[in-house]
Amino acid sequence: MANIVIVGMQWGDEGKGKVVDLLTEYADVVVRFQGGNNAGHTVVVGQETIILHLVPSGALYRGKTCVIGNGVVVDPQVLLQEIDELRKRGHFLDDRQLLVSEDAHLIMPYHRRIDVARERMKGEGKIGTTGRGIGPAYEDKVAREGIRFGDLGEEKVFREKLGAILPVKNHYLDTCLKDQGFDLEAVFQEYRGYGERLKKFAGNVSLFINGQIRQGRQILFEGAQGTHLDVDHGTYPFVTSSNTVSGGACTGAGVGPTRITEVIGVSKAYTTRVGGGPFPTELNDAVGEKIRERGREFGATTGRPRRCGWLDIPLLRDSIRLNGLTGIALTKMDVLGEFDTIRICTAYQHRGRRIEEVPSQVQVLKECEPVYEEHPGWKAELRNARSFRDLPRQARHYVRRIEELTGTRVTLVSVGEKREETILRRNPFQRRPRRS
Ligand code: IMP
């Protein structure tokens, strides 16, 4: 029996959706534990491409239960849209396939407006948020002013909570952000409609998951964003507002750490970032442009072009430590198939000093210069490789070098966007983990 957490090792968009989708075959329950619809997981099944923002990637399999944990912030409008869209395409037809924690906090219309208005006010210093209201919703949770998913189905409670908070938000929007407030009755009616359709999905997620574990079922915890966007451990303040590291699966789903058997980190064969913040290996040249083009590096949620650069080993080393990783899933290897040489950043240089780890001060990281080693490219199409042996020698060397530099085994290599375009060297649901 295995309960596995999958997290991003970089700044999000590592290809977690594909890895989760692939491993879901072996899981009974798939759980989202943090973030909200700022995430965008692209999954390609046959001729279909589906982008999910909130519903766990397991929705594409019949008979798997999808769970949205207490650590997630839920925009009910988006949740309903996704359910409707999936159903239109013949997925997710059974209501029992979805359970949403009563304790998950709701994203309200004022959260979205505050998010956008604040970014506008910050100008050049903006974080580059997705504008989905994620940060303001988490702020209300911690300030104990949030409204939760369980409140949606309780009209009286919902009205009382909304009545208490809305005047405060309207005042803030009006006086501080110079933006428009909301009408109480209109918001109430809108959310009452969502409540009617969604209350059947509300329940006690911790109780459910722990019960499933006791019965020997396998659980897959699906991380969103990436380790370096973690609110505590990321490149603060250019981060998201939740704990994206593996420990977040415990707090965000009500499961003790002793129940987790393995943690897999997903990393691209290079690095990307959307939004602001330091990025030592960023390439503002033709090579970066080529990676963006070949890798189709445009945000799944906002459509923004992603910043692209070479693989950054200090980022990965940090991720291995922060998440307790037992393996790496290396994605988008095929994208690097056109380069004569490929670089790996093995450390940083800061004011004459060599640094092996990511400095916690963002202003120090901004000044870091990457130290590169150069490897010959493989200049070949990899999409048909199905075992490690099928890869060209230079590509195998690249993977082995990453293993050497990180001290962690690469357990999966993705060579294309389709499910079958994958080399699964070890299935974490089927064999014992090797500690890194
Ligand atoms: P927020 O999560 O919308 O508040 O945005 C905060 C930062 O996290 C911004 O730099 C976003 O671009 C980034 N971010 C949030 N979600 C994702 C994601 O799923 N992939 C990549 N970056 C993300």
In this prediction the pTM is: 0.95
Show the DSSP H helices in 260-389 as ranges. Answer: 286-294, 313-323, 362-367
Query: For ligand 1, is residue 52 a contact (CB within 6 Å)?
Result: no
Torsion of CA 20, 23, 29, 32, to 10 degrees: -10
Ligand 1 centre and the CA of 38: distance in Å?
A: 6
| Residue 71 burial (CB count, 10 A) | 27
Ligand 1 centre and the CA of 226: distance in Å?
A: 9
Are β-strands 98-101 and 369-376 bridged in parallel, bridged antiparallel, or unpaired?
A: unpaired
Ligand 1 centre and the CA of 283: distance in Å?
A: 20
Query: For ligand 1, is residue 134 a contact (CB within 6 Å)?
Result: yes
Query: For ligand 1, is residue 127 a contact (CB within 6 Å)?
Result: yes
The boundaries of every CATH 1.10.300.10 domain in the chain are 105-198
Query: For ligand 1, is residue 275 a contact (CB within 6 Å)?
Result: yes
Beta strands in 269-404 (DSSP E): 271-273, 307-309, 311-312, 327-331, 341-350, 353-355, 369-376
Query: For ligand 1, is residue 235 a contact (CB within 6 Å)?
Result: no
Q: Whose CA is nearest to atom 15 of ligand 1?
A: 38
DSSP labels, 70-126 = TTBEE-HHHHHHHHHHHHHTT----GGGEEEETTSEEP-HHHHHHHHHHHHHHGGG-
Q: Whose CA is nearest to atom 16 of ligand 1?
A: 38
The boundaries of every CATH 3.40.440.10 domain in the chain are 3-102+201-262
| CATH T-level fold of 3-102+201-262 | Adenylosuccinate Synthetase; Chain A, domain 1 (3.40.440)
Query: For ligand 1, is residue 130 a contact (CB within 6 Å)?
Result: yes
Query: For ligand 1, is residue 326 a contact (CB within 6 Å)?
Result: no
How far apart, in whole angstroms, are the C-alpha atoms of residue 232 and residue 397?
34
**SS3 state of residue 138:** helix
* Ligand 1 pocket test, candidate residues 54, 225, 297, most atoms within 8 A of CB: 225
Mean pLDDT by 10-residue block, N- to C-terminus, for the chain (436 residues)? 96 93 94 95 78 88 94 98 92 93 98 97 92 98 98 96 98 97 98 97 98 97 97 97 98 98 98 95 97 93 91 98 98 97 98 95 96 97 96 98 98 95 95 52
Ligand 1 centre and the CA of 225: distance in Å?
A: 7
Q: Whose CA is nearest to atom 19 of ligand 1?
A: 39
Provide the token pair at 192.
């009452």
| Residue 25 burial (CB count, 10 A) | 13
* Ligand 1 pocket test, candidate residues 129, 298, 301, 307, most atoms within 8 A of CB: 129
How far apart, in whole angstroms, are the C-alpha atoms of residue 265 and residue 14?
9
Ligand 1 centre and the CA of 373: distance in Å?
A: 30
| CB environment 237-257: b (16+ within 10 A), e (fewer) | ebbbbbbbbbbbbbbbbbbee
Are β-strands 29-32 and 65-68 bridged in parallel, bridged antiparallel, or unpaired?
A: parallel
Query: For ligand 1, is residue 16 a contact (CB within 6 Å)?
Result: no
Provide the token pair at 238.
């250019």
Query: For ligand 1, is residue 422 a contact (CB within 6 Å)?
Result: no
CA-to-CA separations, 337 to 18, 19, 248, 288, 347, in angstroms, rounded:
20, 21, 35, 14, 24
Provide the token pair at 326.
């037992």
The boundaries of every CATH 3.90.170.10 domain in the chain are 267-424
Query: For ligand 1, is residue 132 a contact (CB within 6 Å)?
Result: yes
Q: Which atom of ligand 1 is nearest to the CA of 274?
A: 12
CA-to-CA separations, 413 to 267, 282, 363, 401, in angstroms, rounded:
10, 23, 34, 14
The catalytic site residues sit at 13, 41
* Ligand 1 pocket test, candidate residues 6, 240, 243, 266, most atoms within 8 A of CB: 240
Coarse DSSP helix, strand, coil percentages of the chain, rounded to the nearest 5 percent: 40, 20, 40
Ligand 1 centre and the CA of 431: distance in Å?
A: 34
Query: For ligand 1, is residue 274 a contact (CB within 6 Å)?
Result: yes
Q: Which atom of ligand 1 is nearest to the CA of 134?
A: 4
| CATH T-level fold of 105-198 | Adenylosuccinate Synthetase, subunit A; domain 2 (1.10.300)
Ligand 1 centre and the CA of 126: distance in Å?
A: 12
Please give the class, per CATH, of domain 267-424.
alpha beta
